[in-house]
Amino acid sequence: MRLYDVELRFRLMLGTAQYPSPAVLLDAIKASRSEVVTVSLRREAGGSRAGQAFWSMIRNLGLRVLPNTAGCHTVKEAVTTAHMAREVFGTPWIKLEVIGDHDTLQPDVFGLVEAARILTEDGFEVFPYTTEDLSVCGRLVEAGCRVLMPWGAPIGSGRGLNNPYGLRTLRAHFPETPLIVDAGLGRPSQAAAAMELGYDGVLLNTAVAKAGDPVRMAEAFGQAVEAGRLAHLAGPMEPRDMAAPSTPVMGMALLS
């Protein structure tokens, strides 16, 4: 998988929030084989700079960090947070979130496009958290985004793929653009389903962090993403209304 000019071997990306302990987080990342983790700038906040220890821990893993603008509700707030994140984490990558609804955490797609244009013009490599709307995604590509991250369902809901038709249509309209399902997945089978649609990767957090055993769940998601990708490349059979015998009947002996 190539994201901007970076090649990755594995297609699962993990968030780093809400884990029961730093040790569990590290074990989950290793079990998932993720090469990219998302980090909120808010971990660096506070007078004591308590987030420095967390940042050092992530940096020591040798992973690529994808800072995010989680919790931002305006263009100005998201752009400011992105600039701060670039200074702190030393990367042009930014997972851009501009939240428009407090209950569903649905993106403000108008603010998202505006912020994406501002940031790409300033040298950022933007990963926009968006809906599966074709026109919005088209505007994001026009704004300079070379990766799209449509949601599967509302953040943290675990509902899976609310609109498989929309996601499949999006894949067909942007065949050359890396597409990563971001948010709403709760089970490994849902991640596999996203990959079977032809998506390039999956980003998730809550489904692993809040599992009874986050390490095992991380491993399960990693395997599901790879299985879904292999199934897509293999070309799954199309569903049909009638049964079709799997054993040939021509030439079989007839018993009376």
Tokens of 11: 């297609």
Terminal-residue alpha carbon distance, the chain: 59
pLDDT for residue 58:
75
pLDDT for residue 47:
44
Q: Residues marked as binding?
A: 156, 183-184, 205-206
Radius of gyration of the chain (CA): 20
Return the number of other C-beta atoms located less than 10 Å from residue 181's C-beta: 28
Q: What is the pLDDT along the chain (256 residues), one digit of tens a residue?
A: 899 999 999 999 999 999 999 899 999 999 999 999 998 876 555 444 556 677 777 777 888 999 999 989 999 999 999 999 999 888 999 999 999 988 888 999 999 999 999 999 999 999 999 999 999 999 999 999 999 999 999 999 999 999 999 999 999 999 999 999 999 999 999 999 999 999 999 999 999 999 999 999 999 999 999 999 999 999 988 888 888 877 766 666 666 6
* Domains, the chain, ordered by start: 2-234 (3.20.20.70)
Please provide residue 170's backbone torsions phi and psi, each rounded to the nearest 5 degrees.
-60, -40
As to burial, measured by CB atoms within 10 angstroms (0-12 exposed, 13-18 middle, 19+ buried), residue 198 is middle
pLDDT for residue 51:
62
CA 66 to each of CA 89, 194, 198, 199: distance values in angstroms, whole numbers, following the listed order: 9, 21, 23, 19
Mean pLDDT estimate for the chain: 90
Quote helix, strand, coil % in the chain, to nearest 5: 40, 15, 45
CA 68 to each of CA 34, 176, 178: distance values in angstroms, whole numbers, following the listed order: 17, 24, 18
DSSP classification of residue 150: E
E strand segments, the chain? 2-3, 6-7, 12-15, 36-40, 64-68, 93-96, 125-130, 149-150, 180-182, 201-204
SS3 state of residue 161: coil
Q: Residues marked as binding for 1-deoxy-D-xylulose 5-phosphate?
A: 156, 183-184, 205-206
Contact call for residues 185 and 156 (beta carbons, < 8 A): no
Tens digits of residue pLDDT in 70-126: 989 999 999 999 999 999 888 999 999 999 988 888 999 999 999 999 999 999 999
Q: Which residues are catalytic?
A: 95
d(CA 175, CA 171): 6
| Positive or negative torsion for Cα 141, 147, 150, 151 | negative
As to burial, measured by CB atoms within 10 angstroms (0-12 exposed, 13-18 middle, 19+ buried), residue 165 is exposed
